[in-house]
Structure 1
């Protein structure tokens, strides 16, 4: 065992003990964060506009600060972008993370000297929890690849602008620099296809032990590796590859394809990062869900998803949530976001400690007929329908077909198969059965002959990649929505 792996185990135990301390006092921890945020922002323009000097309780805050999305906060953000100080947070941010908005075009999310460490430490701590639980630390001696956006930044008014994953690339610890891939030069390539080809050339003969990225883009990397190697399994190319780290989307729809490509099962760690904050990471290989980070400068509120679009919905805090309910995630942060709806929905899998799964997007659902189907339900249905079969899925999305050429409306599942089912109708039935078990409203619509059962449309090989390329969203942190309430994606794919 190397000195580096021994040191990693010692450090892992220390971080694990620190986590036990704050996670064992969740309400107290969140209250401390809340008070610190209010105190730090009293003198800001936002703080003055919302009377932070009078806020002493969470109820005061909820009365003074309404729920906002990016458009509602944009007036303040535009001031910060021009270099003005003390607008949303004290001083001015050190970075703006540019991200694609679903309704408002590009969004610019501030990152401050106070918020930046949580983005770095959370990813590190996820790996350390894995080491502490499994005792597996040998991978720290191998090469590690992080498929991410370009680290090239532009500077305006003393603030650097770039993609979050590219910004984070500037903070890789020195002890990992020698192990980290790809090279800086390759990482700076903007065109995704060119970049992946260059990464393949650099890594194919290396001892890769850890691979990290959004599953759909890692899949593209694996496919190009296999093409370059003459069809070898990934485990044949990288004999010591044993850990996959991912975030952004649910891994389960990709798992069968990955295991086939890899040629063996590998451990995985799920992360929940966003430009707005690093919210959670998988702290255990044995427990479902990711540990919600309650001590990282983020104050959390939760709104039940089925109440979100009602007038003045109740805002729950950490001590009030329940397991299994779909909540819209609202955050206030030490980067200057206040009562901010990040757009994601979560469900708690545990309250001791608080663990969550990402169940979807508050605006990404299907409710053309009042069924309110969410991403977690369609992913579960796909998982159940493919379990114990040889069916392999590359990618899929779901959309309503309200005006079919004939017959009743239906939910259309657009699927790119690696290996098709022998009986497509039976496969569609399995998906439909699972959906009906999970969603009572959908079941009522089928039973009442308002909807016909699931209809499957096959998408051609690389169809999803070509669609993303046509939208200028190939690679990086971009991902296909699992479902939509309109047919923009579906009609483009067809």
Structure 2
């Protein structure tokens, strides 16, 4: 065992013990975060505007600070971006994380000196938790691949600005820097396909042991490697033993990815965002993600059926229940206040508090009142593939098709198969059956002949890649929405084929 692997086990035990301390007192941990961030932000413009000095309880906070998304707080964010101090958090942010928003255009999320450790330690602790649980640390002696955005930073309002993954690249610990792939120069290449070819040049003969990235882009990397070598990933990288991912549900991609690898390997799911590093998988046999309750973020949870109400219920960690779909709202030492990040979660455990990401609050289909969510379409696809085991998936999305003729409207599933079903009609029927079982409103609309059975449109290989390229979102941390309530994405996908 190498020195890094040996030392990491002692460090992993130390961090595990520290996590256990707040995990045993989760409500108290969240109250400590709440009190600290409110006290520190009292003299900011936002703190004065919302009378932070008078807030003594969560009930006071709910009255003083309404839930808003980026658009609702844009006037404050714009002032931060223009270089003003003490707007949302004392001083100026250390960075601005630049991210593409579906409704607000480009978003600039502050990362402060206080909040940067949340991002860095969250990613670090996920690996240490894995080491502590499994005893496996040898991967630290191999090469570690992080498929991410460019680390090149620009300046906006005197603040270093770039993609979160690029910002994080500047904070990789020195003891891992010599293991890190690809090279800095290659990581700076903006064009994804050019960058991917260069990454393959640099990694093809290296002892890769850990690979991290969003599953569809990792799959693209694997496909190119296999095409160039004629080998499976296990034969190209015999030491590859750990896959780290986040951003999308891995399950629809798992069969194809594992077939490409050629063996089963361990994986760790993360829940990172520009707004904060929220959770990570800390046990291999539990898909729930440990919610980080002492990391500078105060969480609130809104039952999704109340989200669009004028005054929705805002629950704290001690009030949540298992299995309920909640919209996630955060306030933090990054200067976010009552901020709706757009993700929905469900708790799978309350001792400790663990979640799964169930979808996006604005990504749903309810053209006819069915309110189908991301979790349901992913689960339906996963169950259907389990009954059509020849199928391998690259990507899919779902959109409504609204007809002027009664009973002729339907949900269109636009699917790019890596391997087609033997019986596409049977696959389509099974998918519709699963959706009826998962969503009672959808079932009522089908049985009432208001909706026709769903239709699967099989897209040619490369369609999603070509569409993402046309939108300037190919590769990196960009994700395809799993479903939409209009046909913008669906029509865009169909258009790139013409």
Query: Could you tell me how far apart the structure 2 residues matched to 1:248 and 1:287 are?
Result: 18
Deviation at 1:10, TM superposition (A): 1.1
Query: Which segment is superposed worse, 323-332 or 73-82?
Result: 73-82
Query: Could you tell me how far apart the structure 1 residues matched to 2:36 and 2:96 are?
Result: 23
Aligned length: 493
Tell me what 1:291 maps to. 290
Q: Is the 8 A contact 2:407 2:449 kept in 1?
A: no
Tell me what 2:210 maps to. 210
Query: Could you tell me how far apart the structure 1 residues matched to 2:149 and 2:90 are?
Result: 28
Deviation at 1:158, TM superposition (A): 3.0
Deviation at 1:479, TM superposition (A): 0.6
Q: Is the 8 A contact 2:358 2:374 kept in 1?
A: yes
Tell me what 1:31 maps to. 31
Tell me what 2:305 maps to. 306
Tell me what 2:50 maps to. 50
Provide the alpha-carbon RMSD of the alignment. 1.1
Deviation at 1:434, TM superposition (A): 1.4
Which secondary structure does the structure 1 equivalent of 2:355 belong to? strand
Q: For residues 308-457 of structure 1, what are the structure 2 equivalents within 5 Å?
A: 308-387=307-386, 389-403=389-403, 408-457=408-457
Distance 1:316 1:81, change over 3 A: same
Which secondary structure does the structure 2 equivalent of 1:205 belong to? coil
Q: For residues 57-72 of structure 1, what are the structure 2 equivalents within 5 Å?
A: 57-72=57-72
Q: Is the 8 A contact 2:96 2:162 kept in 1?
A: yes
Unaligned runs of 5+ in 2: none
Query: Could you tell me how far apart the structure 2 residues matched to 1:341 and 1:324 are?
Result: 20
Does 2:197 align with 1:197? Answer: yes
- Structure 1, residues 130-180: CA drift from partner, whole Å, max 9, x if none? 111111111111000000010011124431011100000000101001100
Q: Is the 8 A contact 2:407 2:450 kept in 1?
A: no
Query: Which segment is superposed worse, 371-380 or 402-411?
Result: 402-411
- Structure 1, residues 210-264: CA drift from partner, whole Å, max 9, x if none? 00001111111111111221x2101110001010000100000100110111111
Give the TM-score normalised by the residue count of structure 2: 0.98
Query: Could you tell me how far apart the structure 2 residues matched to 1:101 and 1:126 are?
Result: 27
Tell me what 1:226 maps to. 226
Which secondary structure does the structure 2 equivalent of 1:395 belong to? strand
Deviation at 1:407, TM superposition (A): 5.3
Tell me what 1:7 maps to. 7
Query: Which segment is superposed worse, 362-371 or 432-441?
Result: 432-441
Query: Could you tell me how far apart the structure 1 residues matched to 2:425 and 2:157 are?
Result: 59
Give the TM-score normalised by the residue count of structure 1: 0.98
Q: Is the 8 A contact 2:96 2:159 kept in 1?
A: yes
Distance 1:449 1:120, change over 3 A: same
Deviation at 1:288, TM superposition (A): 2.4
Deviation at 1:78, TM superposition (A): 1.3
Tell me what 1:252 maps to. 251
Which secondary structure does the structure 1 equivalent of 2:170 belong to? helix
Query: Could you tell me how far apart the structure 2 residues matched to 1:280 and 1:221 are?
Result: 26
Query: Could you tell me how far apart the structure 2 residues matched to 1:220 and 1:37 are?
Result: 42
Does 2:142 align with 1:142? Answer: yes
Unaligned runs of 5+ in 1: none
Query: Could you tell me how far apart the structure 1 residues matched to 2:350 and 2:64 are?
Result: 29
Which secondary structure does the structure 1 equivalent of 2:364 belong to? coil
Which secondary structure does the structure 1 equivalent of 2:372 belong to? coil
Tell me what 2:274 maps to. 275
Query: Could you tell me how far apart the structure 1 residues matched to 2:315 and 2:77 are?
Result: 26
Query: Could you tell me how far apart the structure 2 residues matched to 1:265 and 1:452 are?
Result: 40
Deviation at 1:404, TM superposition (A): 7.2
Does 2:98 align with 1:92? Answer: no
